[in-house]
A and B are shown apart, each in its own frame.
Chain A
Amino acid sequence: MNNGNHHISTLLAGCRQNDRASQKELYEFLKGYAMKICYRYQHNQYQVEEIVNEGFTKFFKNIHQFDENRHLETSMALKGWFKRILVNTCIDYYRKNSSYLNGQTLSEETEKIADRGETGIDKLSYKEIIEAIRLLSPAYRTVFNLFVIEGMSHEEIGKHLGISVGASKSNLSKARENLRKILTKKADVRTYVEPI
């Protein structure tokens, strides 16, 4: 573990010197983690990549602010710090594009998902759940991610997104409702195709 910490510290030192080789190695180490976070916030794959790259750029620019000596587990601390950067980048991206995203609602296909009242949720894979989240409208998706997964309060969400607490709660409620529909549909399809 110490070797891992030492290696990461070496990479961080290189990144602070703006060394491309160190940056590349750290990128390879963290890109999966970055993708995992940003993937939930965007439906468009190209935009996901753009946000990831933007997040890495911010990460490298501000790397001198991270003090690995304050943490026993450098890797975890670094990921936590990086996660905040990525989430903020996602929020920034959302706010930048919110003028045309806020009015967007569920796609027609999603809206037409019927509630058939059947079980099958256990059959859903994590991928399907994440893909379901990505199917949500940007406003719902962002609030849902921030509240449920990142653990933010509605006040914080409202502050970050520039919306009221009520709007945040409303978006969360609608996000859950739509997600329930999507997941139900997926579960129904799976139940139909693979009957128990």
Chain B
Amino acid sequence: MSNLSDKDIDRLSREAADSYEPDTVSLSWTRLEQKLVEQMPERPPDGFQFGRISPYVWGPAVVLIAGISFYFIKTNIYSKLSTRSIDPVSQMNHVRQADSNQSATKNVPADSLSTVKNAIAYGSDHAATSGASDAISSTSSKAKNNSDESASSVLKIPGAGARSAGRPVTKVETGTKSSLNGRGSKAIIPSVVLSTGVVTSHELSSGSGGSSATQHAIENASANGIEKSIPGISSASTTTADLTGTASSSNTGSGTTLHTASVYSLPLIVASATGPAMITGNDSLLNSLAVQKTPGPQKTVRINRSLSIGFTFGADYTDGGGISNNQLSNNIGITLGYYVTSKLSVNTGLIYSNKFYWAPGHDHDRPSVPPNGTNTTYAWAPDIEYVNGAFNMYEVPLTLRYDFARNEKTRFFINAGASSYFLLKQTNIYFTHNGGGRPVAWLTKDESPSNYWFGVGDLSFGLETDLGKGFSFQAEPFFRIPFQKMGVENLKMYSYGFMLSFRYAPVLSRSRK
């Protein structure tokens, strides 16, 4: 054996170190766990993961998610489900322009002076003057008989008739599709320039005097304050009347014979030579545009939505005795409400809660320390300094809600009642120092269920806003006051929180009156 060299010793030692497996029976997880609890206190093992995240992170996240959800529901679902009636004028497709994408679909009252925005067709039986004839012939050459002109056609009318009123009409921008009948000499002139930029065109057949008088009349009408603009009309292309009808004449009383050359006639604003502007003609076009809404027999449908069911979630700060808590408790569950009267409702629900808390030691009974590597039996613990714990429980609230204010879509309420706590599990970590000044902590779990009927008072207020079709969103800050001491430590649990709910009120019945 004396020939055992250093290399042999090293080799044998390495082989032995690699291969030998010592007995591990003496190792105990319990002892290590005690060490870990002491040096690395664990959060209570149960509960949602997000409950362990800093409330400064997930609190705003919940609010953000709720806001996005609300926006989504309101903008997408509600708009699709909305039953608001379509604007009547938008149904008048036959008078819409080809480029009427921008047209405002305002309901135009037919008999209102301020709504006159369309073309005023007028003309004259008189022969056109030479100047006017040039203009007319120019126009006629561009405008084929019974043919459609391009909507963007621009015609220049240098005619004397047009100028005779001292108001040069140099450009006609129709923006509309006009159909000209070729009877007689016709020109298209702008008669009324709408403040919104609409230039409407009109058929004119007039002699020199007529042309001048008509133009003058229009000017007078303008000078007399007759509205040329149509409030609320923003479209550049508004109405096209099919002007292929037989012209009819009318006397304006000012020496000018006007021919309304359309199937639909419009109120005509003209100026009287002796008096203020008058309206002549009829408003059959506008009448035709007006929605024929004949109200049917009036019946009232009563819809009973007294019952509401909801999904609720939220967070709260639980105070177990004055020590600041770095964890938010979380709640999730369903709710049920029933309106006893129009303003008063009874509400209940089933909410699963994880309540995390810190509490001072003096509030606690002194729990015994379970056996561990050092102690073989339960031993009384030294004075506890503080406790970090968690309740896992169901909560059943029973509250009475009063809607004290209401507007079209939102109700404001106050809610009061009591909640029952049904504890499923309680986990506590106790912290203290031993005789040597060394920090000691140990963990206990109590899985025996405990029921606390109406153990806390419940007070809340909030608002509920309708989302349509029976859906609503509710925000409700709450405050819970203990009526009883709870848990193995006999804690008084105060909670301050915020609950968000989505509720649905089904139609229970419909009745007609």
Residues of A within 8 A of B (CB): 17-21, 23-24, 27-28, 31-32, 35-36, 39-40, 45, 48-49, 52-54, 56-57, 60-61, 115-121, 124, 126-127, 129-130, 133, 144-145, 148-149, 176, 179-180, 183-184, 187-188
Contacts and interface: CB of A to CB of B under 8 A. Distances in A.
Interface in B3-59: 3-4, 6, 8-10, 12-17, 19-24, 26-29, 31-33, 35-36, 39-40, 42-43, 45, 52
Contact of B42 (A18, A35, A49, A61): A18
Contact of A121 (B4, B22, B24): B4
B12 A35 contact: no
Given A35-B24, A176-B9, 14 more contacts: A17-B52, A18-B40, A27-B32, A53-B35, A129-B20, A148-B10, A149-B14, A149-B17, A179-B13, A180-B1, A180-B2, A180-B4, A187-B1, A188-B1
A126 to B, nearest CB: 4
Nearest to A61: B40
Interface residues of B, number: 35
A124 B12 contact: yes
A99 B14 CA distance: 28
Q: 6 closest pairs, A vs B, by CB? A: A184-B1, A129-B16, A126-B16, A126-B20, A39-B22, A117-B2
A57 B39 contact: yes
Most buried by A among B3, B20, B35: B20
A170 B173 CA distance: 112
Contact of B24 (A31, A57, A126, A176): A31
Nearest to A119: B1
Contacts of B9: 148, 176, 179-180, 183
Contacts of B28: 49
A61 B26 CA distance: 23
21 contacts: A18-B40, A24-B33, A27-B29, A28-B29, A31-B27, A35-B23, A36-B21, A36-B22, A49-B26, A49-B27, A52-B27, A57-B35, A60-B40, A116-B1, A129-B20, A148-B10, A149-B14, A176-B9, A180-B2, A183-B4, A184-B1
B429 to A, nearest CB: 11
Contacts of A117: 1-2
Contacts of B52: 17
A32 B23 CA distance: 8
A132 to B, nearest CB: 9
B43 A18 contact: yes
A21 B28 CA distance: 15
A183 B1 contact: yes
Contact of B1 (A32, A115, A144): A115
B29 A129 contact: no
A18 B43 CA distance: 8
A121 B1 contact: yes
Most buried by A among B3, B15, B32: B32
Given A57-B32, A129-B16, A149-B13, A20 B42 contact: yes
B428 to A, nearest CB: 14
Contacts of A121: 1, 4, 8, 12
B24 A130 contact: no
A20 to B, nearest CB: 6
Contacts of A130: 16-17, 20, 22
A126 B42 contact: no
A39 B52 CA distance: 39
Given A18-B43, A31-B27, A180-B9, A120 B1 contact: yes
A126 B32 contact: no
A20 B10 contact: no
Contact of A20 (B8, B13, B21, B45): B45
B19 A126 contact: yes
A76 to B, nearest CB: 14
Contacts of A54: 35
Nearest to B25: A35
A129 B4 CA distance: 13
B67 to A, nearest CB: 29
Contacts of B40: 18, 57, 60-61
A94 B450 CA distance: 51
Contacts of B4: 121, 180, 183-184
Contact of B32 (A40, A56, A179): A56
Contacts of A183: 1, 4, 9, 12
A163 to B, nearest CB: 20
Given A45-B26, A120-B1, A130-B16, A19 B45 contact: yes
B349 to A, nearest CB: 31
A56 B1 CA distance: 40
Contacts of B23: 35
Contacts of B43: 18
Contacts of A119: 1, 3
B42 A19 contact: yes
A195 to B, nearest CB: 15
A124 B14 CA distance: 14
Nearest to A188: B1
A53 to B, nearest CB: 5
A36 B20 CA distance: 7
A46 B16 CA distance: 22
Contacts of A53: 31-32, 35
